[in-house]
Structure 1
């Protein structure tokens, strides 16, 4: 073996080490891939969609889609509906935040599908966070969020498990990168 050949091998080893270090640093601190499991976010996300999560931003707003630790082994993907201080209720399939009607365009396809299959059925059953067993609070507490899946009849969300604490949030979805035919930024 020549010195030149050994030098080239060492350079390649260095490139691999630096690349792996960068990958682990980015996925640990800045962004992380996540695979959607289940149908609670249909039609925004489908089962097995692959998304990239922004782990840096800690400024979460109403309408953001987030991934959070639901328990020690499972992460969930849901949409933030209520932020700290909000009142949240649904009456006759209309979302009201702080008493004001809140538009949810991401539900239109699901609502029209439901209406075409059966008459007079609401996508979201009526509720008020003050009277839910899981929340029992007039407003969303400080440091917490009220989240729901976009596929409301088939979503385990804050209506059943309560508020999501900010410190359990992994990050917000910024990109769907797979399937390649559905690439989209959020």
Structure 2
């Protein structure tokens, strides 16, 4: 340490005025750091409130793509969905579903011999397991997907509660498109 630095340190320790100035500078520095932290927290909260959302997968309907209790982050700004997208859906019952879009407005869906056909062509997705059977007598096939609606299925077809039971889903009920997911430890 240089002699001037030593003198300054000693002066700070014994001079009350210098000590007061130092304490004031420390309080100001703590206030600045606190305000920066609160600002960053506010921005993160706004991003998740306006742009992104978080949901949890409940059950094994999307297995093996997603597992029970996986945390998913979805994009709230996405309003146009295509076949293959995985979406978070808010159901009127208050439940949230995470499912895969299989057909969009104007498509015709048919379920036959354990397979799904959209516009006459069989569709399959990576991760899809089990056979796809009709689940409700209230839904008749071939089914035409209405305007501003989608037809969704879980990847684990034999245990999924999806459009085969609840019918098509309104696009307005979709919370967003899944952009990222994280498995629980």
- Aligned ranges for residues 114-153 of structure 1 at < 5 Å? 123-126=131-134, 133-134=138-139, 138-153=143-158
| TM-fit CA distance, 1:135 | 6.7
Aligned to 2:168: 163
Distance 1:144 1:3 in 2: 61
Give the 3-state SS of the residue equivalent to 1:46 in structure 2. Answer: coil
Distance 2:102 2:152 in 1: 5
| Structure 1: gaps of 5 or more residues | 112-122, 181-186
| Structure 2: gaps of 5 or more residues | 1-19
Distance 1:145 1:85 in 2: 9
Distance 2:84 2:165 in 1: 19
| TM-fit CA distance, 1:58 | 1.4
Counterparts in 2 of 1:137 and 1:102: CA distance versus 1, 3 Å: closer
Give the 3-state SS of the residue equivalent to 1:44 in structure 2. Answer: coil
The TM-score, its normalising length taken from structure 1, stands at 0.80
Distance 1:162 1:132 in 2: 11
| TM-fit CA distance, 1:134 | 4.3
- Aligned ranges for residues 57-68 of structure 1 at < 5 Å? 57-68=78-89
- 2:180 matches 1:178: no
Aligned to 1:104: 125
Aligned to 1:120: none
Q: How many residues align?
A: 164
Aligned to 2:41: 20
Q: Retained in 2: the 8 A contact 1:146–1:162?
A: yes
The TM-score, its normalising length taken from structure 2, stands at 0.80
Counterparts in 2 of 1:17 and 1:134: CA distance versus 1, 3 Å: farther
Distance 2:158 2:37 in 1: 47
Aligned to 2:104: 83
When the two chains are superposed, the root-mean-square deviation of aligned CA atoms in Å is: 2.2
Distance 2:144 2:68 in 1: 32
> If you compute each CA radius of gyration, which structure gives the higher value, 1 or 2?
2
| TM-fit CA distance, 1:146 | 0.8
Aligned to 1:36: 57
